[in-house]
Structure 1
């Protein structure tokens, strides 16, 4: 479906590019290498099961959860094309 000056498939190309950007961002944040024995933030011991499940882990579950919550709240959602943003 063409809309105005855009070519067919332009919206899907934009969606695909956004998804690819997020995948690359997530991959860049994955830890690599040997897991830490103690959390880098609070110095608590990281359980062996967590170290085996996530190679390269550096934070305990509590500190990782806090970090992810902080990152989620600080990152905005691009709503330029959203109908919700047009209603506000």
Structure 2
């Protein structure tokens, strides 16, 4: 049941788009290619066991942890689902 100017299924379309965006973002974070021998960020050597365990690794553990923490903080607010963005 649609209300106001929304079309039937608009809520489900919004949910589907949000899920699709999250899946695409997760896929883009998967390392690809050949692993680097030194961290792209700080130039610290990347241990061979890490390079073998995670093909395509580009960062040392410290820099990778910092990036993941920053990404977690960036993803806390869902603009697509905010009422303000729906009104524009």
TM-score by length of 2: 0.70
Q: Which shifted more, 70-79 or 30-39?
A: 70-79
| 1:11 alignment counterpart | 11
| 1:55 alignment counterpart | 55
Q: 1:4 and 1:61 mapped to 2: Cα distance? A: 50
Q: Mind listing any 5+ residue stretches in structure 2 that lack a counterpart?
A: 84-88
Compute the displacement of 1:15 (Å): 0.9
Which one has more relative contact order, counting CA pairs under 8 Å at least 6 apart?
Answer: 2
Q: 1:2 and 1:53 mapped to 2: Cα distance? A: 50
CA RMSD of aligned residues (A): 2.1
What is the DSSP-based 3-state SS (H/G/I as helix, E as strand, rest coil) of the residue aligned with 1:31? coil
TM-score by length of 1: 0.70
| 2:30 alignment counterpart | 30
Detail structure 1 runs of 4+ shifted over 4 Å in the superposition. none
